[in-house]
Amino acid sequence: MNVLITSAVSAQAHRLKSRLTVDNVILGDYHELPGFMLSAGKMLKLPDPNSIAYAHEMLTLSLDNAIDVIYVLDNIEAVLLMESKQLFTEYNIDIRSGDEI
């Protein structure tokens, strides 16, 4: 199972990652990330939630990276992705809040 946690630069994301019992957890953020973090392959640059196509960009990113579950920690991202939850469900991608473990 591949899991994506948003808000990669937050302490909450790292706490959540340590509590998960899956092997492949990727952190992602739409804020700027240092190049060395991205090049290691365990962090992704996420689409900006201000983009009009945000949900579709996140769906494409999730499909390209075989993501099964997205833990959304950012409120703006959560609102937008929850509006598109049915679309993600059709592709077997589960959207969860950081409280849902």
Provide the strand spans (E) within the chain: 2-5, 24-29, 43-45, 69-72, 94-97
Spell out the domain ranges in the chain.
2-97
Could you identify the residue written with the tokens 């957890």? 25
CB-CB contact of 68 with 1 (8 Å): yes
Reported confidence tier of residue 41, pLDDT bands at 50, 70, 90: low
Q: Which CATH code for domain 2-97?
A: 3.40.50.20
Average pLDDT of span 29-57: 84
pLDDT of residue 73: 95
Residue 23 has pLDDT above 90, yes or no: no
Reported confidence tier of residue 40, pLDDT bands at 50, 70, 90: low
> pTM value?
0.90
Handedness of CA 11, 12, 17, 21 (dihedral sign): positive
